[in-house]
Amino acid sequence: MTFRIGIVGAGFLTRRSLLPAIAATDDLCLAAVLDTDPVALGAVAARFPGALCGADARDFLRTPLDGVHVATPNRRHAEFACQALARGIPTLVEKPLADTVDAGQWIFRAAMASGAPAMVGYMSRYNAYNRAVVALIRSGELGPARSMTASHLGHRDGDWRNRRADSGLGCLADLAIYPLLTAADVFDAAPTACRATGYPSGDPDRTDIFVEATVWFGDERRLQMEASFTEAPGVGVSRYTVVCERGLVVVRDSWAMDSGGSVLVCDERGRRWLWPEPVDPYLAQYRALAACAAGEPVPTGVSIARGLRDLRVLHALDRSVANGGVRLALSGGQNP
């Protein structure tokens, strides 16, 4: 049976990654796209002439849909996710869950009231290289993971991610969220404390363009990361290193918008590379949504509750930046 997807937002992510994922298989179908940009809608319509492409949310929601993907600027996530969930449509909300914690709570409550499956769009969880790293560490072969250092750098200048009113957070929400997600998987634990410095700090209008941060997972295990929008146009850096008791793992390019990556393992046996079979993370994400719509439980790692917890951590990091790098406790793992 074909799973009919409606996408809210016809921006770069949709055209670059979501549409190719849908076109790559016969078990997915693009049924509708909602956006106010006629040029973007025209580009989608040219590739998918059978899809409803328009600017009227009512027409979009009246279209027979098996799932909705909210892929808008962050401030619109709650608006469209709550509408879809109110109609009982399985819903995938792009990361981060929302621009503010309050908006994230609205989505959480709407999901609880709806009963329809709801997920957050953590595509990096489906990347084969990240999954291989987590499997290796959880196997115990390298001993317990002690620390993780990460850099996720890119270029954003003058778009909606630089405006607090549209994005809520800047490079924290767009880039730093990936190291945070991977560290939680690597340590198999919730964050317990954080601190950060960055620029600009506490600005009511502009979001962060650089942040360096430490996130603790218990007393000893920690993530040290940097994220920024200050690279040259077209340049992206995605890398992390996990230090374990009996070795380390170096990973590159596994947070990019494709199926790529590399994993180097260094231990007492020397150096070796892991080469898992790549998968399209967006295609895997849609198939997970379809499986949940068919009755499978939503995986904990992509649940709306998990998205809300992560959103709270990101905003705690933002508060730390605004207060000069103060360490903040994250009580109870920041559960809803």
- Mean pLDDT, residues 291-314 taken together: 98
Is the pTM value of this prediction over 0.85? yes
> Domain for residue 152, yes or no?
yes
216 & 186 share domain: yes
Please determine, for residue 335, whether its predicted confidence score (pLDDT) is greater than 50. Answer: no
Lookup: tokens for 91 = 């819903």
> Domain for residue 306, yes or no?
no
CATH number at residue 166: 3.30.360.10
25 & 49 share domain: yes
252 & 330 share domain: yes
Which of 330, 317, 314 is closest to 95 using CA atoms? 314
Lookup: tokens for 83 = 């509408």
> Domain for residue 180, yes or no?
yes
Percentage of the chain lying above the pLDDT 70 cut? 99
Residue 215 confidence (pLDDT): 98
Is the CB of residue 76 less than 8 Å from the CB of residue 63?
Answer: no
140 & 24 share domain: no
- Mean pLDDT, residues 197-204 taken together: 96
32 & 16 share domain: yes
DSSP letter string over 283-331? HHHHHHHHHHHTTPPPPGGGBHHHHHHHHHHHHHHHHHHHTTS--EE-G
Per-residue DSSP letter, 37: -
> Domain for residue 287, yes or no?
yes
112 & 136 share domain: no
171 & 243 share domain: yes
110 & 204 share domain: no
- Mean pLDDT, residues 254-282 taken together: 95
CATH number at residue 112: 3.40.50.720
pLDDT band for 332, please (50, 70, 90 cuts). low
Q: How far is the CA of 195 from the CAs of 214, 292, 307, 309, 323, in angstroms?
A: 5, 36, 20, 16, 10
> Domain for residue 226, yes or no?
yes
Residues 6+ positions from 59 with CB-CB distance below 8 Å: 52
> Domain for residue 129, yes or no?
yes
216 & 92 share domain: no
131 & 244 share domain: yes
224 & 100 share domain: no
Count structural domains, the chain. 2
108 & 168 share domain: no
Per-residue DSSP letter, 160: G
Q: Quote the domain boundaries for residue 117.
A: 3-123+283-301
Helix, strand, coil shares, percent, the chain, to 5: 40, 25, 35
